[in-house]
Structure 1
Amino acid sequence: MNLEQLKPQITTIINNKETSVDDRLLSICTLLEENISYYNWVGFYFKNGDKNELKLGPYVGEPTDHIIIPFGKGICGQVAVSNENFVVADVAAQDNYIACSITVKAEIVIPIFVNGENLGQIDIDSNTPDPFTVADERFLEFVCAQVATIL
Protein backbone atom coordinates (compact mmCIF):
# COMPACT_ATOMS: atom_id res chain seq x y z
CA MET A 1 0.00 0.00 0.00
CA ASN A 2 1.38 3.40 -0.88
CA LEU A 3 1.52 6.34 1.51
CA GLU A 4 -1.27 8.32 -0.17
CA GLN A 5 -3.64 5.36 0.21
CA LEU A 6 -3.13 5.45 3.99
CA LYS A 7 -4.25 9.07 4.40
CA PRO A 8 -8.02 8.35 4.49
CA GLN A 9 -7.43 5.65 7.09
CA ILE A 10 -5.43 8.09 9.23
CA THR A 11 -8.28 10.60 9.00
CA THR A 12 -10.82 7.93 9.96
CA ILE A 13 -8.77 6.97 13.03
CA ILE A 14 -8.36 10.62 14.08
CA ASN A 15 -12.10 11.31 13.69
CA ASN A 16 -13.17 8.31 15.80
CA LYS A 17 -14.22 10.16 18.95
CA GLU A 18 -15.47 6.89 20.46
CA THR A 19 -11.87 5.99 21.32
CA SER A 20 -9.35 7.72 23.57
CA VAL A 21 -6.53 9.82 22.14
CA ASP A 22 -3.97 7.19 23.20
CA ASP A 23 -5.96 4.43 21.50
CA ARG A 24 -6.16 6.49 18.30
CA LEU A 25 -2.40 7.13 18.43
CA LEU A 26 -1.76 3.42 18.93
CA SER A 27 -4.03 2.64 15.98
CA ILE A 28 -1.99 5.00 13.81
CA CYS A 29 1.25 3.32 14.92
CA THR A 30 -0.22 -0.10 14.11
CA LEU A 31 -1.54 1.01 10.72
CA LEU A 32 1.83 2.42 9.69
CA GLU A 33 3.91 -0.48 11.01
CA GLU A 34 1.66 -3.07 9.35
CA ASN A 35 1.36 -1.34 5.97
CA ILE A 36 4.80 0.15 5.32
CA SER A 37 7.37 -2.61 5.13
CA TYR A 38 10.33 -0.49 6.21
CA TYR A 39 8.58 1.08 9.25
CA ASN A 40 9.78 -1.35 11.93
CA TRP A 41 9.18 0.71 15.10
CA VAL A 42 6.56 3.46 15.15
CA GLY A 43 5.85 5.60 18.18
CA PHE A 44 5.04 8.97 19.62
CA TYR A 45 6.99 11.04 22.12
CA PHE A 46 5.47 14.06 23.85
CA LYS A 47 6.83 16.95 25.89
CA ASN A 48 6.73 15.87 29.54
CA GLY A 49 4.85 18.71 31.24
CA ASP A 50 7.12 21.67 31.97
CA LYS A 51 10.27 19.55 31.86
CA ASN A 52 12.80 19.78 29.04
CA GLU A 53 12.30 16.15 28.17
CA LEU A 54 10.16 13.86 26.06
CA LYS A 55 8.05 11.03 27.41
CA LEU A 56 7.20 7.94 25.38
CA GLY A 57 3.58 7.66 24.29
CA PRO A 58 1.85 4.91 22.33
CA TYR A 59 4.09 2.82 20.08
CA VAL A 60 4.39 -0.51 18.28
CA GLY A 61 7.57 -2.49 17.85
CA GLU A 62 10.27 -3.86 20.10
CA PRO A 63 10.11 -2.64 23.72
CA THR A 64 12.40 0.31 24.44
CA ASP A 65 14.24 1.50 27.53
CA HIS A 66 13.98 5.07 26.23
CA ILE A 67 10.85 6.12 28.12
CA ILE A 68 12.27 9.58 28.90
CA ILE A 69 14.57 11.44 26.49
CA PRO A 70 16.16 14.75 27.53
CA PHE A 71 15.88 17.61 25.03
CA GLY A 72 18.96 17.62 22.80
CA LYS A 73 19.78 13.92 23.32
CA GLY A 74 19.40 11.51 20.43
CA ILE A 75 17.45 12.21 17.27
CA CYS A 76 14.16 12.75 19.13
CA GLY A 77 15.76 15.10 21.64
CA GLN A 78 17.34 17.09 18.82
CA VAL A 79 13.97 17.50 17.06
CA ALA A 80 12.49 18.76 20.35
CA VAL A 81 15.06 21.58 20.23
CA SER A 82 15.33 22.25 16.47
CA ASN A 83 11.59 22.00 15.68
CA GLU A 84 12.59 20.50 12.34
CA ASN A 85 12.24 17.14 10.63
CA PHE A 86 15.24 14.87 11.05
CA VAL A 87 15.87 12.07 8.56
CA VAL A 88 18.78 9.77 9.37
CA ALA A 89 19.83 7.54 6.49
CA ASP A 90 22.45 5.72 8.58
CA VAL A 91 22.17 5.81 12.38
CA ALA A 92 25.74 4.52 12.71
CA ALA A 93 26.97 7.80 11.20
CA GLN A 94 25.23 9.92 13.87
CA ASP A 95 27.24 11.01 16.90
CA ASN A 96 24.20 11.90 19.00
CA TYR A 97 22.16 8.75 18.33
CA ILE A 98 20.52 6.70 21.09
CA ALA A 99 20.56 3.07 19.99
CA CYS A 100 17.29 1.28 20.61
CA SER A 101 18.19 -1.92 18.81
CA ILE A 102 21.17 -3.23 16.90
CA THR A 103 18.83 -3.97 13.97
CA VAL A 104 17.92 -0.28 13.45
CA LYS A 105 19.65 1.21 10.40
CA ALA A 106 17.69 4.45 9.81
CA GLU A 107 15.31 6.80 11.63
CA ILE A 108 12.89 9.59 10.79
CA VAL A 109 11.42 12.00 13.34
CA ILE A 110 8.76 14.59 12.51
CA PRO A 111 7.58 17.18 15.08
CA ILE A 112 3.93 17.74 16.01
CA PHE A 113 2.92 21.38 16.37
CA VAL A 114 -0.16 22.65 18.19
CA ASN A 115 -0.68 26.42 17.92
CA GLY A 116 2.93 26.80 16.81
CA GLU A 117 4.35 24.88 19.79
CA ASN A 118 6.27 21.62 19.37
CA LEU A 119 4.35 19.28 21.69
CA GLY A 120 5.71 15.98 20.44
CA GLN A 121 6.80 13.92 17.50
CA ILE A 122 6.37 10.74 15.58
CA ASP A 123 9.48 8.56 15.61
CA ILE A 124 10.04 5.75 13.13
CA ASP A 125 12.94 3.31 13.11
CA SER A 126 13.76 1.17 10.11
CA ASN A 127 15.85 -1.95 9.83
CA THR A 128 16.41 -1.03 6.17
CA PRO A 129 19.35 1.24 5.29
CA ASP A 130 18.35 4.67 3.89
CA PRO A 131 14.66 3.88 3.18
CA PHE A 132 13.05 7.27 3.84
CA THR A 133 12.18 9.62 0.98
CA VAL A 134 10.66 13.09 0.68
CA ALA A 135 7.34 11.26 0.23
CA ASP A 136 7.74 9.76 3.73
CA GLU A 137 8.44 13.21 5.15
CA ARG A 138 5.37 14.77 3.50
CA PHE A 139 3.17 11.84 4.53
CA LEU A 140 4.36 11.95 8.15
CA GLU A 141 3.86 15.73 8.22
CA PHE A 142 0.26 15.00 7.22
CA VAL A 143 -0.02 12.41 10.01
CA CYS A 144 1.38 14.87 12.56
CA ALA A 145 -0.99 17.64 11.41
CA GLN A 146 -3.90 15.22 11.88
CA VAL A 147 -2.64 14.16 15.32
CA ALA A 148 -2.32 17.82 16.33
CA THR A 149 -6.10 18.21 15.95
CA ILE A 150 -6.76 15.79 18.84
CA LEU A 151 -4.09 16.97 21.29
Structure 2
Amino acid sequence: MFNVEHYTGTKDQNYDLLLKQLKALLEDEPDQVANLSNASALLNQFLDEVNWVGFYLWKNDQLVLGPFQGLPACVRIPYGKGVCGTALSEGKTQRVADVHQFPGHIACDAASQSEIVVPFYKNGEIFGVLDIDSPIKNRFDETDEQYLEQFVEVVKQYV
Protein backbone atom coordinates (compact mmCIF):
# COMPACT_ATOMS: atom_id res chain seq x y z
CA MET A 1 0.00 0.00 0.00
CA PHE A 2 2.69 2.44 -1.04
CA ASN A 3 3.12 4.90 -3.83
CA VAL A 4 4.90 2.43 -6.10
CA GLU A 5 6.32 5.12 -8.34
CA HIS A 6 8.84 5.87 -5.59
CA TYR A 7 9.15 2.67 -3.53
CA THR A 8 9.61 -0.81 -4.94
CA GLY A 9 10.89 -2.96 -2.06
CA THR A 10 9.03 -4.94 0.57
CA LYS A 11 6.78 -3.04 2.94
CA ASP A 12 9.46 -3.15 5.66
CA GLN A 13 12.17 -2.00 3.24
CA ASN A 14 9.96 0.83 2.03
CA TYR A 15 9.26 2.02 5.56
CA ASP A 16 12.99 1.82 6.40
CA LEU A 17 13.69 4.03 3.39
CA LEU A 18 10.96 6.43 4.50
CA LEU A 19 12.51 6.75 7.96
CA LYS A 20 15.93 7.50 6.43
CA GLN A 21 14.39 10.13 4.16
CA LEU A 22 12.57 11.67 7.12
CA LYS A 23 15.78 11.99 9.15
CA ALA A 24 17.61 13.56 6.20
CA LEU A 25 14.74 15.99 5.63
CA LEU A 26 14.49 17.15 9.24
CA GLU A 27 17.98 16.94 10.69
CA ASP A 28 19.28 20.38 9.73
CA GLU A 29 16.08 22.36 10.27
CA PRO A 30 15.30 23.76 13.74
CA ASP A 31 11.82 25.14 12.95
CA GLN A 32 8.97 23.05 14.38
CA VAL A 33 6.32 24.11 11.85
CA ALA A 34 8.65 23.50 8.90
CA ASN A 35 9.53 20.03 10.18
CA LEU A 36 5.94 19.00 10.89
CA SER A 37 4.92 20.32 7.47
CA ASN A 38 7.61 18.38 5.66
CA ALA A 39 6.93 15.25 7.71
CA SER A 40 3.24 15.30 6.77
CA ALA A 41 4.05 15.99 3.10
CA LEU A 42 6.58 13.15 2.99
CA LEU A 43 4.16 10.70 4.57
CA ASN A 44 1.36 11.79 2.25
CA GLN A 45 3.61 11.14 -0.75
CA PHE A 46 4.73 7.78 0.65
CA LEU A 47 1.39 6.23 1.55
CA ASP A 48 -1.27 5.43 -1.00
CA GLU A 49 -4.98 5.13 -0.35
CA VAL A 50 -4.96 7.95 2.21
CA ASN A 51 -6.98 11.15 2.08
CA TRP A 52 -5.57 13.04 5.08
CA VAL A 53 -2.18 13.06 6.83
CA GLY A 54 -1.24 15.49 9.53
CA PHE A 55 -0.67 16.56 13.07
CA TYR A 56 -2.85 17.86 15.83
CA LEU A 57 -0.89 19.70 18.52
CA TRP A 58 -1.73 19.93 22.23
CA LYS A 59 -2.55 23.51 23.19
CA ASN A 60 -4.65 24.83 26.07
CA ASP A 61 -5.88 21.34 27.05
CA GLN A 62 -7.13 20.39 23.58
CA LEU A 63 -5.81 19.19 20.24
CA VAL A 64 -5.46 21.98 17.68
CA LEU A 65 -4.97 21.45 13.96
CA GLY A 66 -1.33 21.58 12.91
CA PRO A 67 0.50 21.02 9.62
CA PHE A 68 -1.30 18.57 7.33
CA GLN A 69 -1.96 17.38 3.78
CA GLY A 70 -5.57 16.97 2.68
CA LEU A 71 -8.92 18.71 2.77
CA PRO A 72 -9.70 21.33 5.42
CA ALA A 73 -10.16 19.62 8.77
CA CYS A 74 -11.65 19.98 12.22
CA VAL A 75 -9.69 22.67 14.04
CA ARG A 76 -10.11 21.60 17.68
CA ILE A 77 -10.59 18.18 19.25
CA PRO A 78 -11.24 17.77 22.99
CA TYR A 79 -9.20 15.36 25.09
CA GLY A 80 -10.80 11.91 25.01
CA LYS A 81 -13.08 12.69 22.03
CA GLY A 82 -12.93 11.01 18.64
CA VAL A 83 -10.06 8.78 17.56
CA CYS A 84 -7.44 11.50 18.14
CA GLY A 85 -8.61 12.41 21.63
CA THR A 86 -8.96 8.73 22.54
CA ALA A 87 -5.37 8.05 21.43
CA LEU A 88 -4.24 10.66 23.94
CA SER A 89 -6.53 9.59 26.79
CA GLU A 90 -5.48 5.95 26.40
CA GLY A 91 -1.85 6.82 25.65
CA LYS A 92 -1.65 4.39 22.74
CA THR A 93 -2.04 4.15 19.00
CA GLN A 94 -5.60 3.77 17.75
CA ARG A 95 -5.95 1.71 14.57
CA VAL A 96 -9.57 1.83 13.44
CA ALA A 97 -10.64 -0.44 10.57
CA ASP A 98 -14.06 1.22 10.20
CA VAL A 99 -14.47 4.71 11.67
CA HIS A 100 -18.26 4.40 11.51
CA GLN A 101 -18.02 1.68 14.18
CA PHE A 102 -15.89 3.85 16.49
CA PRO A 103 -18.03 5.37 19.28
CA GLY A 104 -17.83 9.15 19.14
CA HIS A 105 -15.92 9.32 15.85
CA ILE A 106 -15.56 12.91 14.67
CA ALA A 107 -16.21 13.00 10.93
CA CYS A 108 -14.11 15.81 9.48
CA ASP A 109 -14.13 14.25 6.00
CA ALA A 110 -17.13 12.13 5.02
CA ALA A 111 -14.90 10.11 2.66
CA SER A 112 -12.81 8.70 5.52
CA GLN A 113 -13.45 5.03 6.25
CA SER A 114 -10.46 3.99 8.37
CA GLU A 115 -7.95 5.85 10.52
CA ILE A 116 -4.76 5.47 12.50
CA VAL A 117 -3.70 7.91 15.20
CA VAL A 118 -0.33 7.82 16.97
CA PRO A 119 -0.08 9.97 20.12
CA PHE A 120 3.21 11.52 20.96
CA TYR A 121 4.90 13.02 23.93
CA LYS A 122 8.00 15.12 24.39
CA ASN A 123 9.87 15.36 27.69
CA GLY A 124 7.04 13.45 29.35
CA GLU A 125 4.39 15.97 28.25
CA ILE A 126 1.64 15.59 25.66
CA PHE A 127 2.81 17.04 22.33
CA GLY A 128 0.06 15.92 19.96
CA VAL A 129 -0.91 13.18 17.53
CA LEU A 130 -0.14 12.01 14.03
CA ASP A 131 -3.48 11.37 12.32
CA ILE A 132 -3.94 9.52 9.03
CA ASP A 133 -7.28 8.84 7.33
CA SER A 134 -8.10 6.56 4.42
CA PRO A 135 -11.12 6.39 2.12
CA ILE A 136 -11.04 2.58 2.31
CA LYS A 137 -11.88 0.34 5.26
CA ASN A 138 -9.17 -1.60 7.06
CA ARG A 139 -6.37 0.34 5.32
CA PHE A 140 -3.85 0.13 8.17
CA ASP A 141 -2.24 -3.03 9.55
CA GLU A 142 0.22 -3.95 12.31
CA THR A 143 3.21 -3.12 10.10
CA ASP A 144 1.85 0.36 9.42
CA GLU A 145 1.27 0.85 13.13
CA GLN A 146 4.80 -0.26 14.04
CA TYR A 147 6.51 1.96 11.48
CA LEU A 148 4.26 4.98 12.01
CA GLU A 149 5.15 4.82 15.70
CA GLN A 150 8.82 4.86 14.65
CA PHE A 151 8.04 7.77 12.30
CA VAL A 152 6.70 9.75 15.28
CA GLU A 153 9.80 8.88 17.31
CA VAL A 154 11.95 10.42 14.59
CA VAL A 155 9.73 13.49 14.23
CA LYS A 156 9.77 14.26 17.94
CA GLN A 157 13.57 14.50 17.86
CA TYR A 158 13.24 17.52 15.57
CA VAL A 159 10.28 19.46 17.00
Same structural fold, with TM-score higher than 0.5 when normalized by the shorter chain: yes
Distance 1:67 1:76 in 2: 12
C-alpha distance after superposition, 1:1-44 (max 9, x if no partner):
23222111111122022x62211211111111112112321010
* Root mean square deviation of aligned Cα: 1.3
Match of 1:121 in 2: 129
Distance 1:36 1:22 in 2: 21
Match of 1:23 in 2: 34
Matched residue SS, 2:83: helix
Once the two structures are overlaid, the 10-residue window that deviates more, 80-89 or 1-10, is 1-10
Match of 1:54 in 2: 63
Alignment of 1:59-70 (within 5 A): 59-64=68-73, 66-70=74-78
What is the TM-score when the length of structure 2 is the normalising length? Answer: 0.87
Distance 1:120 1:126 in 2: 20
Does the alignment pair 1:135 with 2:121? no
Distance 2:43 2:32 in 1: 17
Pairwise CA distance, 1:138: 1.2
Percent identity over paired residues: 34
What is the TM-score when the length of structure 1 is the normalising length? Answer: 0.91
Pairwise CA distance, 1:118: 2.6
Match of 1:10 in 2: 22
**Does structure 1 conserve the Cα–Cα contact (< 8 Å) formed by 2:62 and 2:77?**
yes
Q: Structure 1: 5+ residue runs without aligned partners?
A: none
Pairwise CA distance, 1:52: 2.1
How many residues were matched structurally? 147
Matched residue SS, 2:53: strand
Pairwise CA distance, 1:95: 1.6
**Does structure 1 conserve the Cα–Cα contact (< 8 Å) formed by 2:39 and 2:155?**
no
Matched residue SS, 1:28: helix
Q: Structure 2: 5+ residue runs without aligned partners?
A: 1-6, 8-13
